[in-house]
Amino acid sequence: MRRKKSTIALGAGAATLVAAAAVLRFAVVPVIAQVPSDLDATARYAGTASLLDTAALESGDSENLFIQDLPVTASQRVQVIDTDGGTAVASEDLAMRDPDGKKIRDTHHVYAVDRKDLDAKQPPDGSGAEAHEGLAVGFPLSPEKTDYPFWDATTRDAAPAKYRGTSSTGGRETYVYEFHHSGPVADPATLEALPGALPKAAVQLLAAGLPAAGREEVAGALPGLADPVPVTYTAEVDTTFTVDTATGVPLHTAKAQKVTANIAGPAGATPLFDVLGYRLESTPESVDERVQDAADAARLLSLAENVIPLALLLAGALLAAATVWTARRGGGPAAAEPDASPGARDVPEEESEPV
């Protein structure tokens, strides 16, 4: 009886281990392999910016209207602020500063994204997320060698982030994607910070800093324009993403953008000056941090997806083998045991009576 109970216990233990492996692989792993609800990641950049010096414009200093190649630093923070099932609501904040800490550019956007492929999702009610198309805050957790539609917040339009090949960053395999896009500025916050019109005198002053062909074009357009002169804006962006192949974490990013003010000319929009232009690249320290983040995430996923389920399956197989061995061992001839039935007691021989 004890041997039978032991066999049952071993079999139950084997079944439990196999079931645990299945639950971990098919129930727990999908939960791990998605954007975490507490995601809070910051990438840091360094580079240069060129911009209009508003003080020089106001004073009429035509020789110092533009600040060129000003050293700047920037931080880009992506934070999940809410989740709703398979949807994450994420904020993206970019802060750019000069060497004295003075603000050069700040942007803030909120997006609703799929927690696995990071594509656009229907924003939950009350989330405040803005409508967008394609990717906005990163790449899928398992990126592929393909082009992805990527959202440009300044023009509020999507364009392909094109796959360009495989490389290595910090010892990790990466995919490289290039994104190029240009178009009219449509972001309300950006437009609100820019003047919708400029006095003709200011336009003439700005035109003085243009190449000869540009000066002539502006001079030809100004007489037919109202005072103040209506101004429109266009943006152009170039970004190269180097993305971890196992986790989708961008390990290195190089980005360049310029916003140009235009006036109406005889042949259409005439570029007047660049309101802002910058070139940024991930700092080495930031790359190291992202490489470590990707390694940690990949290790956790591998443990949950492969190592631990395999260990549980092996342990289950060993217990199953022990169950079979125990069952077979208990199936041989049983040892003789005394018969304790009432009729099996020894009866002493009768003694012969004397003759």
Tell me, what's the pLDDT at 160? 98
CB 145 within 8 A of CB 162: no
Residue 211 is predicted with a pLDDT of: 81
Residue 347's pLDDT is: 46
Q: What is the pLDDT, as a whole number, of residue 292?
A: 93
Q: What is the pLDDT along the chain (355 residues), one digit of tens a residue?
A: 555 555 555 445 444 534 433 433 333 334 456 888 888 999 999 999 999 887 877 777 777 788 999 999 999 999 999 999 899 999 999 999 999 999 999 999 999 999 989 999 999 999 999 999 999 999 998 899 999 999 999 999 999 999 999 999 999 999 999 999 999 999 999 999 899 999 998 888 888 878 888 888 888 888 888 899 999 999 999 999 999 999 899 999 999 999 999 988 766 788 888 999 999 999 999 999 999 988 988 887 655 454 444 544 455 455 555 555 555 665 544 444 455 555 444 544 444 444 3
Residues in the chain: 355
10 Å CB burial of residue 90 (0-12, 13-18, 19+) is: buried
C-alpha distance from residue 273 to each of 65, 104, 254, 300, 332 (Å): 10, 17, 24, 50, 96
Cis omega (within 30 of 0) on the bond before 250?
A: no
Question: Cα–chain-centroid distance for residue 343?
Answer: 83
Task: Give me the pLDDT at residue 1, please.
Answer: 54
Dist. CA 258–CA 234, nearest whole Å: 8
> Computed over its alpha carbons, how large is the radius of gyration of the chain?
36
Q: Which residues, listed in sequence order, are joined to residue 50 by a DSSP beta bridge?
A: 277
Q: What H or E segment, with its residue span, contains residue 127?
A: none
**pLDDT score recorded for residue 72:** 98
- pTM (2 d.p.): 0.76
Residue 59 is predicted with a pLDDT of 78
| pLDDT score for 61 | 76
- pLDDT at position 285, please? 97
pLDDT of amino acid 113:
96
Where b means 16+ CB within 10 Å and e means fewer, 97-110 reads: beeeeeebbeeebb
- 3-state helix, strand, coil split of the chain in percent (to 5) is 30, 40, 30
On whether the CB atoms of residues 78 and 137 are closer than 8 A, the answer is yes
